[in-house]
Structure 1
Amino acid sequence: MKVFDNTTKKIFLASWVSINQAETTDHKATQLNHSPSKPYWDILQPLRQRVENIQVRDRQLAHRLCKLIPSQCPFERDVKVFGKTLFHIPPMCKLNPLYEEVVGLRFRALCYLADECGEDVSQYC
């Protein structure tokens, strides 16, 4: 006797249906986490844009970036004395406000080395 012989098969299909295509294309898409009525100024935005605009076009620069930027989020520790936790050190990626941009830069360097230079990037993974 097989298990799937006695089970009920239920299929659930979900999709977005647009009734009037002309109405949906006129509306601008908005981000969920940013409300247009409450603008805010991000002090790190110029630095974020600067990191995002770095073009990786040099083999040596790509190798340096891959060596300097770690592939995984660095340590997370609990400092304990006699079995009692004194304090918790969060992962470094949560402390770095530019972590996403830096990891993106590392990814672009890896892609440059693999795609343009034809190098094996397994040493950086």
Structure 2
Amino acid sequence: RHVTTGTYLNLINEYNAEEVKPELQGLKDHLVAMTQRYAKAVETVTAVDDSAYGDFMARRLVEMAGVIVMGYLLLLDANRNDSFKRSAEVYTNLAQAEVTKHSDFIANFNPAEVAMYKVD
């Protein structure tokens, strides 16, 4: 539920407001781009007035929010302690692939086909 009410997006935006060292700005830029994809995906899902479709997409939205939040947490750790920089870089690369996968699926999905995915 929190993915469609803005709770996660607000949390992500709070993390984004934190200043980072110049050498970490590239990582932050990737997280900003992922956040934009996430926000667009949330908008796409909430624009469809169909609870089955919303439920079907909820897991993807939660996973997107989760990897973005984790990316920001690692970025902020790296900002405080250089030993986290490599982990933040690796994780952000993996997170970017996850966000792209889910946002592309949502963007290209026809809500009228949600019943095809239902297990009887």
TM-score by length of 2: 0.27
Between the two structures, name the one with larger relative contact order (CA 8 Å, sep ≥ 6): 2
TM-score by length of 1: 0.26
| Structure of greater Rg | 1
Decide which structure has greater helix share: 2
Decide which structure has greater strand share: 1
